[in-house]
Amino acid sequence: MIFNTLWKRLFGFSKTHLTATEDDIMKKFLIVGLGNIGEKYDNTRHNIGFKIVDAFVKEFDGSFETEKLGDIAKLKIKGKTVIVLKPNTYMNLSGKAVKYWMQKENIQVENLLIITDDLNIDFGKIRIKGKGSSGGHNGLKDIQDKFNTGSYPRFRFGVGADYSKGRQVDYVLGEWSAEEESAMIERIPTSVNAITSFINAGLANTMNEFNGK
């Protein structure tokens, strides 16, 4: 009910009114990795979303192409169409790209998954939820502002909070230490499996299997 109400608010009609053909079209997923564009951000903690979707697309032999508001990869997974987005709007304008591609591809809100870093979660841990606050994250905040709700699935990868007072921005925009990078790379396959589970098994099953891992 919540997702259907949000769908109607965003796009002007209820998804329960779709025809059978349109319902088939709606079997699409939008997987979004958040990050900042540019080489100087490539290996920063804030760009873990980009790293995870890069690995996910590679796992399914896909590739990205630059399109409107971001880099896009289109995959087929067990009969489902999966669109993967890396916004090129910078983190604090992520909602613009997400909303555009949801509208363009007619993606249901429950088939959207936003992947991002989180300071409030221990390093390397995964937390997947169907709704929540932005938690101070600029990318999630802009998405919430564009949708006027926090009711959309999100996948948060813990980057820890090993920084001194007032150094939060420096920390998230800082590069991984050698030890962190090695451990992060080991965690990427689990993240890829979690995304695949979201597509094939749904949100609830994925939360049960992967949260806290």
CATH of residue 150's domain is 3.40.50.1470
Residue 23: inside a domain, yes or no? no
pLDDT in tens, 82-109: 999 999 998 989 999 999 999 999 999 9
Mean pLDDT over the full length of the chain: 88
Cα 7 from Cα 51, distance rounded (Å): 29
Residue 110: inside a domain, yes or no? yes
Q: Point out the annotated binding site.
A: 41, 90, 92, 138
Give pLDDT, residue 13: 47
Residue 152: inside a domain, yes or no? yes
Give pLDDT, residue 188: 96
Residue 178: inside a domain, yes or no? yes
Which phi and psi (to 5°) does residue 119 adopt?
-75, -20
Higher-pLDDT residue of 187, 7: 187
Which of 24-33, 40-49, 53-62 holds the top average pLDDT? 53-62
| pLDDT score of 14 more than 90 | no
| Catalytic residue selected from 46, 86, 127, 156 | 46
Residue 205: inside a domain, yes or no? yes
Give pLDDT, residue 160: 85
Cα dist. 202→114, 117, 151, 167, 199 in Å? 14, 22, 16, 37, 6
Residue 21: inside a domain, yes or no? no
Domain extent for 142: 2-9+29-210
Pairing relationship of beta strands 154-158 and 112-118 according to DSSP bridges:
parallel
Cα 14 from Cα 181, distance rounded (Å): 44
Cα 102 from Cα 108, distance rounded (Å): 8
Residue 171: inside a domain, yes or no? yes
What percent of the chain is predicted at pLDDT more than 90?
70
Residue 157: which of 193, 187, 113, 136 has the closest Cα? 187
Indicate the number of domains in the chain: 1
| pLDDT score of 17 more than 80 | no
Residues 94 and 87 sit within 8 Å (Cβ to Cβ): yes
Residue 24: inside a domain, yes or no? no
pLDDT in tens, 200-210: 999 999 999 99
Please compute the mean of the pLDDT values over residues 120-146 and round it to a whole number.
Answer: 91
- Is residue 137 part of the annotated active site? The answer reads no
- Sequential DSSP letters for 152-173: S-EEEEE------TT-HHHHHT
Give pLDDT, residue 20: 44
